[in-house]
Amino acid sequence: MFLATYRAYATTQEVLDQLVTSYGCVLSSWDEIGGDQEQRGTVISSILGTWLDHYPEDFFQPPEFPCLKTLLAYVGLLVPGSDLEQRAWLLLSRLRHLEPAEPEAGGEEDWG
């Protein structure tokens, strides 16, 4: 429900920053209470995976895609080589292809 409604009061970057910051703190303390890396990775992967799968348009911020790159950096540290990391790279590739190309001289814009 949250991922469907947060845009009314926050940006994608604000939510992502808060999530990464919050989980960063939780991840640090999780070791102290005996949590393991796999368990941590599963929790954050589930949240981020749901976001990528159901709301990929949240990450369409051409030309640099800062939120998706933040997500990729975080996931690369948390669960490198994971399915989630691969899906995020695939989304970045797809979104880059959606960027409007530079108009040709005297031609129309190419959105494909």
Residue 79 forms part of a structural domain = yes
Residue 106 forms part of a structural domain = no
Domain containing 37 equals 2-98
Residue 112 forms part of a structural domain = no
Q: What percent of the chain has pLDDT over 70?
A: 71
CA 4 – CA 100 distance, rounded (Å): 26
Q: What six digits make up the tokens of 4?
A: 């469907």
Q: How many domains does the chain have?
A: 1
Residue 103 forms part of a structural domain = no
3-state secondary structure 46-101: HHHHHHHHHCHHHHCCCCCCHHHHHHHHHHHHHCCCCHHHHHHHHHHHHHHHHCCC
Q: What six digits make up the tokens of 100?
A: 């409007």
Residue 110 forms part of a structural domain = no
Residue 52 forms part of a structural domain = yes
Q: What six digits make up the tokens of 64?
A: 């640099």
Residue 41 forms part of a structural domain = yes
Residue 58 forms part of a structural domain = yes
CA distances from 22 to 12, 62, 111 (A): 15, 26, 37
Diameter of the chain measured on Cα atoms: 64
pTM of the model: 0.73
Give per-10-residue mean pLDDT for the chain (112 aa): 94 91 56 55 83 95 94 88 93 86 48 38
Q: Quick one: DSSP state of residue 74?
A: H
